[in-house]
Amino acid sequence: MDEEHQITRKCYPYQLLRNVQKCLPLPKTNAAAEPSVTSYTKGDFSYFHYNCDGFKDLGWGCAYRTLQSICSWIAGKRGATDVDVLVPSIKEIQQTLVQIGDKENDFVGSHDWIGAIEVFYFLDALYDVVCRIIHIASHEDLKKYANVLKKYFDDYGGLVMMGGDMDAGSKGIAGIHISGNQVYLLVIDPHFSGVPKSVQELVERGYIRWQHTSEFVDSSFYNICLPQLK
């Protein structure tokens, strides 16, 4: 991280929840007799979501929040002790994308969305972490990449960003469960607004969930950003 991209220390109105995926039981499947495998994000990360730092981003900031969760994972992997205070704000993310020439100056302060490509650019610029981008033409093709995603979690154990076009809600992916020919992704949904009382509340309200590949939007393509940091 060079001087041009220094991040200011943050103070949050409440302590962000960490490792929210660890309280989620495996999905119930009809393939009880089939062999099953499960792989997760390795390491710690914080759950960033709408308005969690007092900044109002309801309706447009979901990809920024997923990126912030990924940044907290990277900071933890690199040994930071006060992870959250060094995570970039939405404004700092926008400023960095302008500084590297990806966006025009009026992007800073806008409500413009970002996607997997911008997440890649940002992580490369700020943390020197390259990413692999996988383009998936439709939700029907998600299952075809099950082994690729499992290998990623086994080899890198990163927190993944997933975005689409018709499914415009960015989300984090923190694991995969394969049971026979059934595939589930562990979704970390940043669209929660308010102060979560507990991880259990997030699970009960569906913000932390296992989602079958057939439940993704059938008319949407998806881009998946895989940070390459071991």
- Catalytic positions are 62, 189, 191
CA atoms of 73 and 229, how far apart (whole Å): 10
Which backbone phi and psi does 83 adopt, to 5 degrees?
A: -60, -50
Burial of 14 (0-12, 13-18, 19+ CB in 10 A): exposed
CA atoms of 214 and 69, how far apart (whole Å): 26
Angstrom CA distances, 58 to 55, 89, 119, 192, stand at 9, 15, 19, 9
Q: What is the DSSP string of 2-49?
A: -GGG-------SSPPPB-GGGGPPPPP-S-TTS-EEEEE--S--B---
CA 121 to chain centre: 15
Question: Among residues 190, 189, 179, which one has the least CA distance to residue 213?
Answer: 179
